[in-house]
Structure 1
Amino acid sequence: MITLFRSRSWCRPVPRSGRLTLETNATGTSQHWRTITTVLTTTVLAATLIGASAPPPATTTQLTHSVLSASAPAAVQVTGAPVSSMISAAPAVAPAVAPTTGRPAAKTLPAPTPAISGAAAVGKKLIARPGAWTSGTSLSYRWHAEGRAISGATRSTFTPSTAQQGKRITVQVTGKLSGYATASKTSAATLKVARSSAPRVTGSAVTGKTVSASVGTWTPSTSFSYQWRADGTSIKGATSRTYTVANAHQGKKLSVRVTGKKSGHTTLTRTSASTAAVKKATSVQITSSTFHCPKGYPVKGNADSGIYHVPSGAYYTRTKPEECFATEAAARNAGYRKSKR
């Protein structure tokens, strides 16, 4: 409780009693009263701001109009609980609590290491094998050449072009699943991308004739090996770039398989298209000094004279042939004429 008393000459507070008595002379100025009013108002507001509860109805603060009057005021009494008790009754301020989102932390998504299947070669399809991810995981792909992303290569398959020749390829697989943190894994790199061409067989598929393998365009400095085939079956010993067609392969189709190797690059094997069925040669070149023609080529051709001899001719047994023919027609087609004897 706070009580104001009007006095003549001085004002003084009464401490420790729960009451405050102010005495002043009757001639106190309005400024004095405004100051007292301000002090009282500030005290009440401070108590409110620090959490003091409002006083009970029976002790509600009463402030007479004379306190606010600009003239010499009458006695003013403010009734209520002592200020000290009002302050001590203020509830403790609750400590600030940091706001929370209520969102649980994302779980770790297991991510297997992907693999690449297929030969790293220009024009050959590569396939990404992502491995076993958690069921429901959405996967995306990104292919790289020497660690740099390849524009547009975002599918599970990728076919290298000449732009990737000589480069190592990897694929990055990214998995997304609700409630999990996004995870990515990258495959091991392939060997360097190699370039190759399908070989071709040049020359006539005729018995006794020589055919050759033309390899086409491969990665520079590639080394080659060869295997000739007849109707798809490897011919024993036929492992050179060229091959002389044997009589045994008459009627069969020839092809050649070429293998290209270069250090650090993918080893590639390509097989040519097959030839037409091997035909029997109409003639055979004779390089040895002999008087005999091979079986199946009974007509002897003498290159010096340009004459051919048949078995019934007078000079047949004494003639050393340079070329033997299967038929007289074949000899004539080669530019020979028949012996008159």
Structure 2
Amino acid sequence: MNRALALAGATTLAAATAFTATPALAAATVTTRVANLAVTPTTVTKGSSITLKGQAQKLAKTWTATPGASVVVFFDADGSAPNTAQRTLKADARGNFATSMAPQASGYWSVQLKATSTNKASTSTRVYVKVTAPAPSRGSAIVMPKGSVNCPSWAPIKGNASSHIFHRPGQRFYAKTHPEMCFSTPAAAIKAGYRASKI
């Protein structure tokens, strides 16, 4: 009987020892950061590309590169919407990453390093990129800045917005006209609601 109790006690002790010997999963402890983040250009025509690049780093007495780090690019449309992930990258052997994007709207770009079993997650500062409308294609009308005297060579016809009259090169009032609009052809001016000058 005593032997049976002793065996049962030994079994219970062994089970308890086995249970407590299994280590708990450790929380990530290493601090990380996105260093040297560059987003260029910060003003771009819609449809053109921007480049995001930087370096993933971790703190080990000093800041060192984090090879192969998982990097997520985020975009926040003009600050009016939550950040949305756009692309996931892998840092190279030196911790560097780079990618090109073609933004369709103005807004904030940022980069996040994903957490691992040892490294903490971190997020970069946000960089604002302004997206402008593309210039009118050649063959159509172009709006001229206030005070303009000359039209571009591809759209030489001057349009006067107040009278809705257009003047062709060589006509009497062509040189004196300060155009609000310029047109590539008389047909383009007429389509826009202008009529030809008679002199």
Structure 1 length normalisation: TM-score?
0.28
Kindly indicate which of the two structures has a greater share of residues assigned to strand.
Answer: 2
Structure with more contact order per residue of length (Cα contacts < 8 Å, sep ≥ 6): 2
